[in-house]
Amino acid sequence: MLIHAIITHSRVNGPGVRSVVYFQGCDLGCAGCWNPGTHAFVGGTRSGAEDVAAQILGVAGIDGVTFSGGEPMQQGPALASLMSILKACRPSLSIGMYSGYSERELDASATWRDVSQHLDFAVLGRFVAAKPSPLPLRTSANQILRLFSGRYREEDFQLQECEVQITQEGLVQITGFPLAGSPA
């Protein structure tokens, strides 16, 4: 699989403290996308599902992991394999995902069935800059928050926020979602 970046600890990409795995590659072309550096199917780091799983499982103090991108479903078989490894090793780990695909588009995919069986939640639908939304985790009004397990309720998801992290090496990472029309 092609990975853009991994953030080990985040509080704005789903409930609790989560690692965030950003996939490299997306050809959906949503105008105004927050992550344009993840669109090309070049760059990033080639990793096997076992290696990414080991990295996530080695992070202390997380409640879950959220997959984002790029577009995780454009690497669906590898994503399903990664999720399967994570759940086998740590069944209590919460799994969430952002996808630009609509639920109807995903329902036509056999891979989606393999992925969705591991999900606790997903935000689905293209980003549409002309339809800003203040709802938790959804930056445009057409997106839906789909709950797959009984683990969470809508009230468990906080309003949109951003967080800035600066690593010891000086790398600045910004994650989360600014509310449209407000300063990031």
In the chain the domains, ranked by start, together with CATH numbers, are 2-176 (3.20.20.70)
Length of the chain: 184
**Higher model confidence: residue 139 or residue 107?**
107
Strand order through the sheet with 45-46: 45-46, 2-10, 18-23, 64-68, 94-99, 121-124, 144-147
119 within 8 A of 149, measured Cβ to Cβ: yes
DSSP letter assigned to residue 73: G
The span from the CA of 143 to the CA of 102, in Å, is: 8
φ/ψ bin of 86: left (φ > 0), alpha (ψ from -120 to 50), beta (otherwise): alpha
| Residues 10, 64 contacting (CB under 8 angstroms) | no
Tens digit of pLDDT for each residue in 84-118? 999 999 999 999 999 999 999 999 998 999 999 99
Mean pLDDT for 44-57 is 97
**Torsion angle in degrees (nearest 10) through CA of 124, 125, 126, 131:** -110
Per-residue pLDDT of 11-39, as tens digits, reads 989 999 999 999 999 999 998 887 888 99
pLDDT at 177: 63
